[in-house]
Amino acid sequence: MKKSVFILAVILFVISNGKSQAISCSSTGIDENSNTCDSCGENCSWSFDNGVLKVKGDIQPYLDGGYTPWKKAGLGGQIITIDASQVTSFNTSSFEDLVCAKTVIMPQNVTTIPPELFRNCNSIETLEIPDAVTSIELSALSRMFGLKSLIMPDSVTDIDSTAFDETENLTIYCTGNVETCKTNLGDALASKVQAASTKKINGVTYVYDKNGKLVTTSGHRTEKRIYTIEEANAVAGKVNSVKIRYR
């Protein structure tokens, strides 16, 4: 009970001052000055100052964004920049629900964008996926309503079908081979189909169910998925459409 009251007092102090709070946490999560910080992992440290959240090392997994130490410290609405340049591995929900964050400095050695990493980060407009990344997992970039530009290498070969859920009007810029990138994005784009649709493509009528599976005009299912950007956009419509460009 005393701990809860103390944390609440810290949050109120931050709000009442109306400015960013400087917090410096060790790898054990103990702030020498205010003792308000939780650890972000055994080999992880973090600090916050003037709108910038800096995280280093291996971030531990979280059930959702509300359990991260920066959210528990009451900083969710103050973080403008996420400096993850010294992160060696992300984990589940590391930066979920940081709705005011506008800029992310990504590390260059991570290989995975884990589940719900940036889910609900509504203010980020541009994100560049590092060249070492090979997979983007469950809902990793979902509900990023402000995201307009995603720069992605063709090294990303495994993209979960929910990776971009509710992230609308997104343009994906490929930094590698554009045809490879299109192939890699296939099922992820197919997931943006929201309801059953009938579309004519190149003079041929296709019928899709709400899961993005193709149905023949006679009603018999086939095993074919929507796997090209053109097919996915034809079904998804303008709101959920995705463009791809070579960079």
Domain housing 215: 124-247
Task: Give me the number of domains the chain comprises.
Answer: 2
More confident residue, 23 or 144: 144
8 against 215, higher pLDDT: 215
Is pLDDT above 60 for 216? no
Give yes or no for a contact between 11 and 74, defined as CB atoms under 8 angstroms apart: yes
**Residue 44, strand partner residues:** 57
Tokens of 99: 């709705």
Cβ neighbours for 20, distance < 8 A, ≥ 6 positions apart: 48, 49, 50, 51, 78
> What mean pLDDT do residues 172-185 have?
85
Taking 70 as the threshold, does the pLDDT of residue 47 lie above it?
yes
pLDDT higher than threshold 50 for residue 152 = yes
Q: At what angle do helices 229-236 and 178-190 cross, to 10 degrees?
A: 30
pLDDT of 225 strictly over 60:
no
More confident call, 141 vs 18: 141
- Is the pLDDT at 208 greater than 90? The verdict is no
Residue 153, CB-side half-sphere exposure with 13 Å CA sphere: 13
The candidate with the shortest Cα–Cα distance to 127, out of 63, 84, 179, is: 84
Phi, psi of 86 (to 5 degrees): -110, 15
Determine contact, residues 47/54, Cβ cutoff 8 Å: yes
Strands in 170-174's sheet, in edge-to-edge order, are: 126-128, 149-152, 170-174, 242-246
Higher model confidence: residue 17 or residue 117?
117
On whether both 10 and 93 belong to a single domain, the answer is yes
Looking at residue 25, its pLDDT comes to: 54
pLDDT for position 240:
63
The answer, as to whether pTM is greater than 0.75, is: no
Do 210 and 245 fall into the same domain?
Answer: yes
Other CB atoms closer than 10 Å to residue 203's CB: what's the count? 5
Residue 196 within any structural domain of the chain: yes
**103, 61: one domain:** yes
Distance CA 200, CA 30 (A): 61
**Average model confidence (pLDDT) across the chain:** 77
Rounded distance between C-alpha atoms, residue 91 and residue 88, angstroms: 10
* Domain stop point among 110, 143, 159: 110
| Cβ proximity of 193 and 212 under 8 Å | yes
Domain termination site, one of 51, 77, 110: 110
pLDDT at 180 over 90: no
Mean pLDDT of 56-75: 94
pLDDT at 41 over 60: yes
* Same-domain status, 245 and 128: yes
Tens-digit pLDDT profile for residues 108-148: 999 999 999 999 999 999 999 999 999 999 999 999 999 98
**Which one, of 71, 83, 19, 26, lies nearest residue 50 by Cα?**
19
* Same-domain check for residues 45 and 78: yes
The one-letter amino acid at 123: S
State how far the Cα of 30 lies from the Cα of 159, in Å rounded to an integer: 37
pLDDT at 198: 55
The residue type of 92 is T
Burial (0-12, 13-18, 19+ Cβ within 10 Å), 90 = buried
- What pLDDT, in 10s, does the model give residues 76-117? 999 999 999 999 999 999 999 999 999 999 999 999 999 999
Strand order in the sheet with 112-113: 112-113, 135-136, 158-159
Is position 119 within any domain? no
Helix (H, G, I), strand (E, B) or coil at 127: strand
What pLDDT is recorded for position 195?
Answer: 42
Of residues 63 and 15, the one with the higher pLDDT is 63
Which of 54, 83, 110 marks a domain boundary? 110
Q: Are residues 80 and 170 in the same domain?
A: no
pLDDT band at 39 (very low <50, low <70, confident <90, very high): confident
* The dihedral formed by the CA atoms of 190, 196, 200 and 202, expressed in degrees to the nearest 10: 20
* Cβ neighbour number for residue 196 with a 10 Å cutoff: 14
